[in-house]
Structure 1
């Protein structure tokens, strides 16, 4: 393989489309991806959401057909979802449901609406903290993780907007604001990965309830959640300005931990130079997506344009390779990290940096595709290119 330098392809759209096409050719069905799960699973939703963004950007039917073919392996004629169990009350299981909106809007098939209703029913009954924050999962009582904000809040906001449920919009905004108020570090402005209201978890700080470190992809999930929720929150919603304000504050903080030499962000954000820490592709891609979309939508100050561009070129120069068959490969992507569940998931620095990286992990590939699309949209909007 040869390392691709950032200017090899002229526009970001070439990267988004070619990367998506490579993936679709290699895996006609997502379960063929050795990194993906055969069950209804959030990683499936990440890849299909990225491909849906390519479809929205191009109008090319092949992308929609790919989404429908893969979703229909799970969505049954009566709207039930194969291998999904509402009673798990797992926010991760909401993410793939985002693809039901374009399917229902384009086809009008009732099974997609029934599946949307089923996932919304989960959120109506989702266990909550004392301040109405969603537990990340039933098996993680009183815990809010930044990951969960991306998994569920954009779905909730879009459902509420689509079917005219104002209380759902209020709830989506509440989740965004509550987790920030609990996890934000006042010194760095960064957000801790998780918060345990009960204080029972070993990783929970005895006073704040927060986990001990700033994991890049956790903040990436949260940054993407904000810009995607804002797509559906009306301009006159009473919490919209506050959400945009905390987004600006957070994204300004993130630029101070961007690596100067590469434009990327570290696996543990504020531990530059620590043993084992590495520049990580999925979180970096998520940040680029959020910066570019935030700039395009005027949520962010224009001084952050340089941060977005530096991050994007860093991805191309340090995380992307193209093989002899012109297929795109993504490197430096963390395979997975979480809190609790198993004793070794203790939230320690050593835990985060020792979780293995994967080539072409779906979370990394999907975030990269979406980052490319948003960089293209930003360029088109600000420079009038087509």
Structure 2
């Protein structure tokens, strides 16, 4: 066999190898694409999109997000829709925008009235979904959204207060300030002020927003641990309130989570030159230091009752864990905290994925071990005891956890 013939055979063999290699790559690539297209939620996306698409699969209409059976003006949907808004900004995928838009379309009547909302109840929880309308009005300029926003802003003017100016949580909970209320009301108040209020009126409104945090630091902070109690009763009349201090008896994980999210989200709208800005950032620092001290050393998560890790019945809880991670990583990204804090945030985030996330065969992602609800007072009476918190219902895929998880994921993906 001469040299030329050998050369031809070698090239032929090499060519066949290249062809087979390319064919195998094409086959494996197309089989991977087929397996992804067979999934309801593709597993090759980032966690932010995987969780958002899972929520949209579970709750095909956005008003369903709080396990609602019919359209109702509640707050948990707004947290997931905040995440959807940020995903739409990042990806440009219209399905995320449509999901938000559908909420406004279903919940706001053409005359601007809000389905199931009653102003005279002065329930601060119900301001939170106003953030969705602020976004939709900016995008769509529909008169009905503006009217609804003005109604919600009226609630702030009439919301009952303590003698030093803290908002009561609800009219039916007189003299009571809950940590939850800071998240429910203050980002909306600051955002509305940013978009619609000018001059001296804007300055007064921003001062009022900061006052709410100053008062909470004064009245609900435990100086020994740096943690904040769930609530404070100025009148000291509630059975759950300490007769000397008016404080509730425990540090509930999600209440602390709400408070942290309130601070980092308000800073998105508080003017850079506002004197209260530096104070809020200092509160975030002391808050985060306290939160890291009660982080589980092994799994990176946080407990339902924060300072009682080993107590019988206590458990690592998903909504609080997701909120703390979001607060920390956003604070690092925005420069409110030094970069060294990213380590604790990442440990918490990895802990959520390892211990609290499960993925179904069709790709749908679940967030497990979410406390369904917790509060104080009411009927039947909630006494704020350790036993009360650990015995509240636990469920999967609560928007109070999935929303912060998506927001935290987006911060890590930056």
Q: Does 1:253 align with 2:290?
A: yes
Rounded Cα–Cα distance in structure 2 between residues aligned with 1:86 and 1:242: 32
Further displaced range: 25-34 or 136-145:
25-34
Shift of 1:59: 2.5
SS of 1:268 mapped into structure 2: coil
The correspondence for 2:308, drawn from 256, 261, 271, is 271
Matches within 5 A, 1:138-153: 138-153=171-186
Task: Quickly say closer, same or farther: Cα 1:156–1:86, change in 2 above 3 A.
Answer: same
Rounded Cα–Cα distance in structure 1 between residues aligned with 2:69 and 2:218: 33
Rounded Cα–Cα distance in structure 2 between residues aligned with 1:151 and 1:250: 19
The correspondence for 1:293, drawn from 311, 330, 345, is 330
What root-mean-square deviation, in Å, do the aligned CA atoms of Structure 1 and Structure 2 show? 1.6
Shift of 1:303: 2.3
Deviations 1:353-377 (A, max 9, x none): 1112101112111121111112222
SS of 1:72 mapped into structure 2: helix
Task: Quickly say closer, same or farther: Cα 1:113–1:31, change in 2 above 3 A.
Answer: closer
- In structure 1, the residue matched to 2:385 is 348
Q: Does 1:86 align with 2:119?
A: yes
Q: Tell me how many residue pairs correspond in the alignment.
A: 368
- In structure 2, the residue matched to 1:324 is 361
Deviations 1:323-360 (A, max 9, x none): 11010011011111001113441000000011121011
The correspondence for 2:92, drawn from 51, 59, 80, is 59
Further displaced range: 348-357 or 23-32:
23-32
Rounded Cα–Cα distance in structure 2 between residues aligned with 1:62 and 1:171: 37
Shift of 1:29: 1.2
Task: Quickly say closer, same or farther: Cα 1:193–1:106, change in 2 above 3 A.
Answer: same
Q: Is the 8 A contact 1:40 1:84 kept in 2?
A: yes
- In structure 2, the residue matched to 1:24 is 56
Rounded Cα–Cα distance in structure 2 between residues aligned with 1:105 and 1:273: 48
For structure 1, the residue ranges without an aligned partner over 5 or more in a row are 1-7, 378-386
Q: Is the 8 A contact 1:37 1:44 kept in 2?
A: no
Task: Quickly say closer, same or farther: Cα 1:362–1:115, change in 2 above 3 A.
Answer: same
Tell me the TM-score normalized by structure 2: 0.86
The correspondence for 2:46, drawn from 7, 14, 21, is 14
Whose helix fraction is larger, Structure 1's or Structure 2's?
A: 2
Q: Is the 8 A contact 2:66 2:398 kept in 1?
A: no
Further displaced range: 337-346 or 256-265:
337-346
Rounded Cα–Cα distance in structure 1 between residues aligned with 2:278 and 2:385: 35
Rounded Cα–Cα distance in structure 2 between residues aligned with 1:15 and 1:331: 15
For structure 2, the residue ranges without an aligned partner over 5 or more in a row are 1-41
The correspondence for 1:225, drawn from 255, 258, 262, is 262
Q: Which has the larger radius of gyration?
A: 2
Deviations 1:223-243 (A, max 9, x none): 000000001111110111111
Matches within 5 A, 1:173-212: 173-212=210-249
Q: Does 1:280 align with 2:317?
A: yes
Rounded Cα–Cα distance in structure 1 between residues aligned with 2:152 and 2:307: 36
Rounded Cα–Cα distance in structure 1 between residues aligned with 2:249 and 2:176: 14
Rounded Cα–Cα distance in structure 2 between residues aligned with 1:26 and 1:331: 14
Deviations 1:40-72 (A, max 9, x none): 111222222222222232222211111111221
